[in-house]
Amino acid sequence: MEFSLLGAALLAVAAVYAVIYWEAARGNAADCSKDLWDVALGSATAGLVTGRLAAMIIAGTNPLTNPGDILIVRSGVDTGWAAVGALVALAVISRRETVAVAAGLSAASLAGLGAWEAGCLVRDTCHGTVTELPWGISLGGSEIARHPVGIYTGLLFLLAALGVMWLKRRTQDPLLVAGFALAAVGAVRLATEPMRSALGSRPTGWYLAAIVVGLSVAVASRYRSQRAR
């Protein structure tokens, strides 16, 4: 793993820890017995491995005959399958407390994604599609301005994390919080994806699925709460 990639990963881990610590001291709105930090690390690790395996298989590389390639994370991680792997791991680890744990980690997860995207400053990978906006940035040796899409995405994830933290103080419904957070992830990705310099097909379907599922869960939870009154 190259050092710039490691630096971005450390920023993400630090952001997750900071938000968990911050919320724990002020009421996390997670009525569960699980250690959220342990769940976060376990789920993230499972998601990373799942995404890497999926990327290898899609590229035609057999993980069984090339086990060493699993560690070459910079060669590609399928974000859609990584998200699925992380969510499945979260459900397995948290068991009967899945919804409460998901709500408890929602703001921290969004902050971690934001920090990872902001890590493009360390990796020098913020550049997106061409733009004429005054804050566009240029690749070394080029005068063509490009969208700092990594910075856009990082800021949007940060705003989403703050929104979830606010929502958690307004409601005690963990399913509503978890659904809103999932929809926010899909919305941020979908909004910024067109500004990325794509080398292959865009995972738009995954982002749309996150929005639909997240909003459906949130609306259903809200409707159920109103019916119970």
Residue 16 has pLDDT above 60, yes or no: yes
Q: Which domain holds residue 190?
A: 3-228
**Can you say whether the dihedral through the CA atoms of 103, 106, 107, 109 is positive or negative?**
positive
Domain count, the chain: 1
Per-residue pLDDT tens over the stretch 128-168 = 999 999 898 887 777 889 999 999 999 999 999 999 999 98
Q: Which of 206, 191, 204 is nearest to 157 (CA)?
A: 191
pLDDT beyond 90 at 171 = no
Phi and psi at residue 128, to the nearest 5°: -120, -140
Residue 112 pLDDT > 90, yes or no?
yes
pLDDT band per the 50, 70, 90 thresholds, residue 115? very high
Query: If you search the block for the tokens 């949130």, which residue do you land on?
Result: 218
pTM over 0.75: yes
User: Could you tell me the two tokens for 203?
Assistant: 């995972």
Whether the per-residue pLDDT at 26 is higher than 90: the answer is: no
Q: Is 12 in contact with 113 (CB distance < 8 Å)? A: yes
Residue 131, burial from CB neighbour count under 10 angstroms (0-12, 13-18, 19+): middle
